[in-house]
Every structure is written in structure tokens, then in C-alpha cells.
Amino acid sequence: MRRIASDIGVTQPVLYSAFAGGRQAIIDAVAVSGFAAIADALEAVAPDLKTRMRTYLAFANSQPRLYEAMFAMQTELHFGADHTPEPLKRAFAAIQETIPGRDVIKAEVVWATIHGLATLESSGRLPQPQAEARLTYAHRVLAGQG
């Protein structure tokens, strides 16, 4: 929050006062904007599984702080509910679209897999030189090709 306040030239109390829900509302707003951005990125490429997986990983790696706000910080956002914000639905739909029959469970497993890869790669826990090999293997397994 200090960095956000500093970047826009205000103090933290001023930043919090701009959002009725304070700090939590700010985190939620940043996360929703991140989901809109990742949905835009996914929708901008061909709707095939490997291309969207690669795009997802590129997004997570190019915007690690935004990705962290989307997934690692506590939010009040809910997935798969009637009141799920539209950007979250769009991001999931962009993954689900790559699955034959748009199977929800398979789409959730794809999302969990690429999220796991994104998280482990961005934290440096997986060696960068093998990133493409991991993507290729994950794609093969998730696409049912072994």
C-alpha cells in the first residue's frame, strides 16, 4: 500500500479514504483489474490450449506484483458464484473455451496447473531454462496426449 500511495503521490490514509472499504477494497479493485487484464490477454490469442497456457504464464511473469494481488493477497472475491465479478468469469471462460465440451472440472485443473507453474516460476523455485519443456509437458498431459 505504501508503494501504491507513493506512486500516485498521496499518503496511505488518503489512499484508504478514497475507497469506502479501505485497504480491502483497494486490494479487491487491483485484483479485479488484474483479472480483466489477464482475460484481455487470453482472449487476444487463438483459443487453443497451449497458446493460452503460454499467454497466461507470460502475463504472470511480466506482472508479478499484479499477479500476487490477484492470487496471494486475501480478497473478498469469490470464484464460481453468482456474484463472481465479470473479469474473473471472463478469465476462467478463456481457459474453459480451450477444453473439449468446455468441461468445468478439466478447466479448473488446467487453471490450477498453469497457476502452479506461474507461482513456482515467478518465485524462482523452478529453473527458468526448463520453462518451455514444462509447458510442453503440461500441455501434452492436459490435452490427453500422454
C-alpha span between 15 and 9 (Å, rounded): 10
Say what the pLDDT of residue 45 is.
98
Report residue 97: phi and psi, to 5°.
-60, -25
Report residue 11: phi and psi, to 5°.
-90, 165
- For residue 136, which of 126, 127, 123, 146 has the smallest C-alpha distance? 146
Distances (CA, A) of 78 to 32, 47, 89: 11, 25, 10
pLDDT in tens, 97-121: 999 999 999 999 999 999 999 999 9
Say what the pLDDT of residue 146 is.
61
What domains lie within the chain, and their CATH numbers? 32-142 (1.10.357.10)
- Low-confidence stretches of the chain (pLDDT beneath 70): 146
Question: What is the CA angle 26-71-50, rounded to 5?
Answer: 130
Say what the pLDDT of residue 20 is.
75
Say what the pLDDT of residue 126 is.
95
Say what the pLDDT of residue 49 is.
97
